[in-house]
Amino acid sequence: MRRAPRRLSSALAVALVLAGCAIAPPTPHAPIDAEARRVVDVLAARWREFRDLRALADVTLKRGKDRQRLSGVVLALAPASVRFEALSPFGQPFLLVTVHDGKITAYNAATNEARVGAANVETAADLLSLPVEPEDLVALLSGRVAPPKDLRVAEILPPDGLGRSVKLVGRYNEQRVWTDFETGVVRRVTIVGGRTEATVTFQRGADGALTGFDLTAGNDYVTGAVRYRSLTLNAGIDAERFALTLPNDAKIHGIR
């Protein structure tokens, strides 16, 4: 299996719409007060309500002067499975990306090439340029936050123009989450890891239903938007949908 360049194609970057940093040393554990713990518990309870997501998605991405736009199908299954199929104008998938069973696979049907590697924080830092675990990615796609399993710091921050927020520091990154402290509905998340900061702002309809999200990263060098159509939540998705069988003659490159 040949080694591929660290960065995926720009099309895959569009598909995953996350960008920019290196892994920082872990922050020491600190005591968590009762109010911060309560907010973390509210966020965790809302995350546990999510089972799966299915939607058509319109994706736009601007990376420097490069602008791209595509449409596709997004599937997500808690806790850590994702499938994205970018569709051609004729409705045929030309790029397939899966995160499942601890592995990430990206297959370009046009070139019959695939990139395969472990779906872990190190791979995400290399390919998505953000040190997030697969569970974090699923949570973001569903408009939620998955509190870090190894929570080191949780701190209520002073309100700003966006309202109240909580800082969550885990093993690999720091998140500032603007959320309703009673319901756990998240408005915005800023994720800091290493040298770069990315912000995801969720878009919701008048009824509060998730309609997509906007992304900025790398001091606005990367900006993007995802808009969902025909979004369905918790309707049931077979885990086998996330397994991607590659053609026997596909050229396979190792991510790491």
Q: Would 224 be classed as within a structural domain?
A: yes
| Percent of the chain at pLDDT exceeding 70 | 86
Least confident of 51-55, 93-97, 190-194, 208-212: 190-194
The CATH number that applies at residue 196 is 2.50.20.10
Measured in whole angstroms, the distance separating CA 61 from the mean position of its chain's CA atoms is 15
**pLDDT (0 to 100) of residue 12:** 55
pLDDT of 79 over the 80 cut = yes
Domain count, the chain: 1
- Model pLDDT, residue 1: 54
In a domain, 53, yes or no: yes
Q: Coil, strand, or helix at residue 173?
A: coil
- pLDDT per residue as tens digits for the range 84-131: 999 988 888 999 999 999 999 999 999 999 999 999 877 776 666 566
Residue 203 in domain: yes
- Within a domain: 256: no
Task: Compute CA distances 185 → 165, 177, 181, 189, 195, whole Å.
Answer: 11, 10, 8, 11, 28
Quick one: pLDDT at residue 249? Answer: 96
On the CB side of 130, CA atoms within 13 Å amount to 26
157: β partners: 165
pLDDT cut 90: percent of the chain above it: 68
pTM of the predicted model, to two decimals? Answer: 0.87
Lowest mean pLDDT among 50-59, 117-126, 157-166, 230-239: 117-126
Residue 65's pLDDT band (boundaries 50, 70, 90)? confident
Check if the beta carbon of residue 96 is closer than 8 Å to that of residue 85: yes
Which of 54, 108, 59 shows the shortest CA–CA distance to 82?
A: 54
- Give the pLDDT score at 122: 73
pLDDT at 16: 52
Q: Is 141 or 194 the better-scoring residue by pLDDT?
A: 141
Q: What is the pLDDT of residues 133-154, one digit of tens each?
A: 899 999 999 999 999 999 999 9
Q: What pLDDT is stored for residue 194 in this prediction?
A: 67
Q: Which residue range(s) make up the domain with 101?
A: 2-250
The residue that leads in pLDDT, 123 or 251, is 251
Q: Is 125 helix (H, G, I), strand (E, B) or coil?
A: helix
Quick check: 235 pLDDT over 70? yes
pLDDT score, position 20: 41
Q: Please check whether residue 187 lies inside any domain of the structure.
A: yes
Q: Are 152 and 170 in contact (CB under 8 A)?
A: yes
| pLDDT the model gives residue 27 | 87
| Residue 27, domain member (yes or no) | yes
Does the residue 117 lie in any domain?
yes
pLDDT, average across residues 242-254: 94
Residue 6 pLDDT: 46
Residues 6+ apart with CB under 8 A from 158: none
- Is 255 inside a domain boundary? no
